[in-house]
Structure 1
Amino acid sequence: MKDEIFDITIVGAGPVGLYATYYSGLRDMKVKLIDALPQLGGQLTALYPEKFIYDVAGFPEILAKELAENLIAQAMQYEPAIFLNEKIIKLESLEDEKIIKLTSEGGNIHFSKTVVLSLGIGAFVPRKLDIPDVKRLEGRGIHYVVKDKSIFRGKNILIVGGGDSAVDWALNLEGIAKHITLIHRRDVFKAHEDSLRKLFNSTVEVKTFYELKRIHGDEHVKGATIFDNRTGEEIYLDVQHILLFLGFLANLEFIQSWGLEIDKNAIKVNSKMETNIPGVYAAGDIVNYPGKLKLISTGFGEAAIAVNNAKNYIEPASKYFPGHSSDFVPKKLKSK
């Protein structure tokens, strides 16, 4: 009839997508995992592999790349089909056959009985400052992500931002960098309370109501001028690296034509993680519903809900509640 049809296809191989892949295998579904990036792990590996994560159950702290490795190992137990470097640009519901057709940018076509969209924040680009020399010195002392902490060893660094990324990296780089200055344009931070407590008890120099005005350096960052946005007072800092953590701009334009209902720049779902298209579910930061919390831990629960409902959708006689995982023996252990 058609090319191979899968029970479920997960689009997005970040932490939520990897957990959905594992759970699909646990429910004995034939599963495919697709991602636009060349590696599994999503933002954990692409944006902040060296960052510690503190709010995942069971881990007092864990590096993002290690969490990704654990999730990958968990997902691979059931031998899913993996397709990387595949950006899905079209989703069609073939209602007469109850099949979802997915088309990639390269022209590949995938058929599935159900789909779970775990796209994170969609296509994302970092927010940038509109000041001279930022673009010119990107990659030469200007950073939006940290992939290798060692380049900051013994250096003076400036961190700009007041959210979790800015505060967490200030703490992560303490003891590695020679000196850290963190500036924020106001005195209210968006970071977790515990992180802020640690920040203000650290050696990091925190300056509130300060903003970045000018970057100095020819081939590499050599300094920065910051200013007090209340008085206009300027201060020159001798820094070799500037980390700009101003958030990311989400872009859902690539799914606007799919027929999904969008709410507040996210895919609208109900309590079953169902979208308005039958057989299409969504989970993680890409979704919105009343009371939504954009946390990895929340996304894990949403992934399990989506997959269990997808199983029930294609096999109405199956139980929605799968039983406890302790009742199952993972495939890799059955062979021992």
Structure 2
Amino acid sequence: MEECYDVTIIGGGPTGMFAAFYCGLHQLKAQLIEALPQLGGQPAALYPEKRVWDVAGKAGVTGQELVDDLIAQLAVAPVDQFLGEKVTNVIKEVDGTFTIQSKQRTSSSKAVVIAMGNGAFSPRQLALAGSKELEGRQVRYFVNHKKDFKDQRVAVLGGGDAAIDMALMLEDVAKQVYLVHRRNEFRALPLTVEQLEESTVEKLTPFLPKDLVVNADQSVTLNLKKMRTDEERPLEVDKVLVNYGFTSNNAALKEWSLDLASERGQIKVDATMQTSVPGVYAIGDGATYEGKVDLIATGFGEAPTAITNLAKELYPKKKMATHSSSMKINQQ
């Protein structure tokens, strides 16, 4: 058993990374554990080149740029990092500490911060015959690099903010972008829809994909059916980009030896971000309370709330600076 950490943060997405940074600012002995082999969570894995607009002080930042900035911030007040390590159990011991178990090792911690978002995530699949075999080639679910779509004809399937964002993001590199949605109305912010109307993206509504065929030149003919009619339309493209949303779950939490109060699959927390188990805190999309808005910006506010309050619980006699201007930061 290693030396007992003050704090263990489980989850290396943006919220978990910012919480780890605050542990460093408070000079807490902390470890950050992430199941994926890299930090960044969904922004890095799902939309590295998509711009995020709800981060204060950033007039549009890509998912990867945001993660890079957070990594640089972590370097200012570093904590121990363990990547590619999935937590298999968290056990509360009789002395109030926690045992953190993974396949690689076992560690001990005085407090735990759960920053796992909504857990494991996967895209909702395109339910067309043959589409599974085309994944990663003609059929894509993510835009890891815009250059992969350069000078190509791209059909984006979906009608929400993320689908429109993808279509607009590819507008300046693709030969032509089509947005296929089963309704005439889009489930997106008014500003996003306005940008779509002013773009060169061709809207195909209300259409639903019926089937797809791979042509001899490796292009794809996507056959579309107009809703509530017999009208059909073939659409020849090079790539089909599917954005029907994502499914996620925190099934791993059910395997832990913690009896956490939850609501609709999210962990209930109080004003300090503490769960129903003393010493365990939850932040980010996986935590819920009255009035919660699921944004990265919200998680960035929850992180210092949790870390500052748990630090006061751990060291009630120690003077804790709240503002970064009052803390000892090693500036390069």
- Settle same-fold status: TM greater than 0.5: yes
Per the alignment, residue 300 of structure 2 pairs with 300
2:98 to 81, 97, 100: 100
Decide which moves more: 192-201 or 278-287. Answer: 192-201
d(CA) in 2 for partners of 1:8, 1:124: 26
Per the alignment, residue 11 of structure 1 pairs with 10
d(CA) in 1 for partners of 2:75, 2:190: 36
Find the residue that maps to 1:50 and give its secondary structure.
coil
Residue 148 of structure 2 is aligned to residue 113 of structure 1: no
Cα distance change of structure 1 residues 309 and 267 upon mapping to structure 2, 3 Å threshold: same
Residue 311 of structure 2 is aligned to residue 314 of structure 1: no
d(CA) in 1 for partners of 2:230, 2:318: 66
Cα distance change of structure 1 residues 299 and 233 upon mapping to structure 2, 3 Å threshold: same
Deviation by residue 1:248-272 (Cα, 9 ceiling, x = unmatched): 1112111113322221121111221
d(CA) in 2 for partners of 1:193, 1:281: 35
d(CA) in 1 for partners of 2:67, 2:230: 44
1:171 to 168, 172, 180: 168
Find the residue that maps to 1:25 and give its secondary structure.
helix
Per the alignment, residue 71 of structure 2 pairs with 72
Is the 8 Å Cα contact of residues 115 and 282 (structure 2) preserved in structure 1? yes
d(CA) in 2 for partners of 1:327, 1:194: 39
d(CA) in 2 for partners of 1:89, 1:262: 19
d(CA) in 1 for partners of 2:322, 2:114: 24
Per the alignment, residue 291 of structure 2 pairs with 291
Runs of 4+ displaced beyond 4 Å: 218-221
Per the alignment, residue 140 of structure 2 pairs with 143
Is the 8 Å Cα contact of residues 25 and 328 (structure 2) preserved in structure 1? no
Per the alignment, residue 48 of structure 1 pairs with 47
1:157 to 149, 154, 157: 154
Q: How does 1:275-286 map to 2 (within 5 A)?
A: 275-286=275-286
Q: Tell me the amino acid that sits aligned with residue 154 of structure 1.
A: D
Q: Tell me the amino acid that sits aligned with residue 170 of structure 1.
A: A
Deviation at 1:218, TM superposition (A): 6.3
Decide which moves more: 113-122 or 187-196. Answer: 187-196
d(CA) in 2 for partners of 1:110, 1:54: 37
Unaligned runs of 5+ in 1: none
Find the residue that maps to 1:39 and give its secondary structure.
coil
Deviation at 1:230, TM superposition (A): 2.2
TM-score by length of 2: 0.95
Cα distance change of structure 1 residues 306 and 188 upon mapping to structure 2, 3 Å threshold: farther
Q: Tell me the amino acid that sits aligned with residue 23 of structure 1.
A: Y
Per the alignment, residue 253 of structure 2 pairs with 255
Decide which moves more: 233-242 or 210-219. Answer: 210-219
Deviation at 1:309, TM superposition (A): 1.5
Is the 8 Å Cα contact of residues 179 and 203 (structure 2) preserved in structure 1? yes
Unaligned runs of 5+ in 2: none
Q: Tell me the amino acid that sits aligned with residue 83 of structure 1.
A: F
Deviation at 1:246, TM superposition (A): 0.9
Is the 8 Å Cα contact of residues 264 and 288 (structure 1) preserved in structure 2? no
Find the residue that maps to 1:55 and give its secondary structure.
coil
Deviation at 1:319, TM superposition (A): 5.6
Find the residue that maps to 2:263 and give its secondary structure.
coil
Find the residue that maps to 1:128 and give its secondary structure.
coil
How many pairs does the alignment contain? 329
Deviation by residue 1:67-120 (Cα, 9 ceiling, x = unmatched): 1010111112222111000011111111x222111111x241121111111112
Is the 8 Å Cα contact of residues 215 and 221 (structure 1) preserved in structure 2? no
Deviation at 1:189, TM superposition (A): 2.6
Per the alignment, residue 36 of structure 2 pairs with 37
Q: Tell me the amino acid that sits aligned with residue 192 of structure 1.
A: L
Q: Tell me the amino acid that sits aligned with residue 126 of structure 2.
A: L
Is the 8 Å Cα contact of residues 155 and 178 (structure 2) preserved in structure 1? yes
d(CA) in 2 for partners of 1:13, 1:253: 18
d(CA) in 2 for partners of 1:89, 1:191: 37
Cα distance change of structure 1 residues 328 and 132 upon mapping to structure 2, 3 Å threshold: same
Percentage identity across paired residues of the two chains: 40
Deviation by residue 1:189-242 (Cα, 9 ceiling, x = unmatched): 332222111011100011232111111116945221111112131111110101
Deviation at 1:25, TM superposition (A): 1.0
Is the 8 Å Cα contact of residues 180 and 205 (structure 2) preserved in structure 1? yes
Deviation by residue 1:11-58 (Cα, 9 ceiling, x = unmatched): 111110110011111111111111011111111211111111122111
Is the 8 Å Cα contact of residues 308 and 322 (structure 2) preserved in structure 1? no
Find the residue that maps to 1:72 and give its secondary structure.
helix
Deviation by residue 1:130-188 (Cα, 9 ceiling, x = unmatched): 22111111111111111111011111000011122111111111111011110122233
d(CA) in 2 for partners of 1:312, 1:184: 51
Is the 8 Å Cα contact of residues 25 and 31 (structure 1) preserved in structure 2? yes
Find the residue that maps to 2:262 and give its secondary structure.
coil
d(CA) in 2 for partners of 1:138, 1:55: 31
Is the 8 Å Cα contact of residues 10 and 32 (structure 1) preserved in structure 2? yes
d(CA) in 1 for partners of 2:303, 2:138: 38
Find the residue that maps to 1:285 and give its secondary structure.
helix
